[in-house]
Amino acid sequence: MSYVFRDDLFSGRHTFLTGGSSGIGQRIAERFSLQGARVSIVGRKQEKLDRAVEAIRSSGGQAQGFAADVRDYSATEAALARSHASFGAVDFLFCAAAGNFPAPVLGMSANGFKAVVDIDLLGTFNTCRAAHAFLRKPGAVVISISANHAQHAYPLQAHVCAAKAGVELLSKTLAIEWGPEGIRVNCISPGPIDDTEGMRRLAPSEESRGQVIAAVPLRRMGQRDEIADLAIFLCSDAAAYITGAVLPCDGGIALTGPRDLDGLLQRPR
């Protein structure tokens, strides 16, 4: 169940999201549309983008989708330019594109490590760097989706730990550099969120789901709407003095980290 916000909270605002055609990014796009925002989403597959855009439009929202790979700076910049031409200055920028697969360090290739770092960290840099010219100044809000991997070392997740730690420090640096222009930059750090590709990869069985839930102090997985609720708060005037922050929405799992180490290491991959 999501919190009920005023329907016109973001009326006339422009939200641009990478990773917006699935998972957490898609739900944020849908919820911001319901709050009156015009939504631009970016992903690698046009067919997935078309489905996500149609879902928003069928609910009465305004949306457009652009196929681009965030690892490609020129393609990302082109998508931003096209979205700006249609919907105007970007009020809310979300960096939600991410990659993941479970593997020990000795079981992943250099290319596999690089792929995740490039999508998560380089993709966040590319999106933020290219977006600066199109952001509303003052007033824009930039939010990157991190993970508690940035604070806790997780077995089978060295690539994600490295990438997300970089995302958080990059965001804090941008908060300092762009603050004088009236741009706020923050991170949301989700815990295990149900109905996402990440959890389908990391907890593919009922047994592994149970192991994850047992590590969460609230003893449940989160919902995509709960991340969207936090995103709405951070973009609202209620958060006007918050920048450079990493806000967890994780049921408390960042307090405990992985507990069943043997189970994680022995899990079939």
* Closest by Cα among 176, 168, 74, 172 to 129: 74
Catalytic residue among 22, 164, 171, 208: 164
Beta strands in 28-83 (DSSP E): 38-43, 62-67
The owner of tokens 């305004």 is: 62
Taking the C-alpha atoms of residue 133 and residue 33, their distance in angstroms, rounded to an integer, is 23
Write the DSSP string, 156-215: T-HHHHHHHHHHHHHHHHHHHHHGGGT-EEEEEEE-SBSSSHHHHHH--SHHHHHHHHHT
Is 48 assigned a catalytic role?
no
Catalytic residue among 146, 171, 189, 208: 146
Taking the C-alpha atoms of residue 50 and residue 36, their distance in angstroms, rounded to an integer, is 20
Is 2 assigned a catalytic role?
no
Residues making up the chain, counted from first to last: 269
CA dihedral 182→21→18→226, nearest 10 degrees, is 50
Instruction: Determine contact, residues 50/27, Cβ cutoff 8 Å.
Output: no
Taking the C-alpha atoms of residue 189 and residue 10, their distance in angstroms, rounded to an integer, is 23
With a CB cutoff of 8 Å and minimum separation 6, the contacts of 115 are 99, 159
The per-residue b/e assignment along 62-95, b for 16 or more CB within 10 angstroms, e otherwise, is: bbbbbbbbbbbbebbbebbeebbeebeebbbbbb
Residue type, 23: G
User: What residues are annotated to the active site?
Assistant: 146, 164
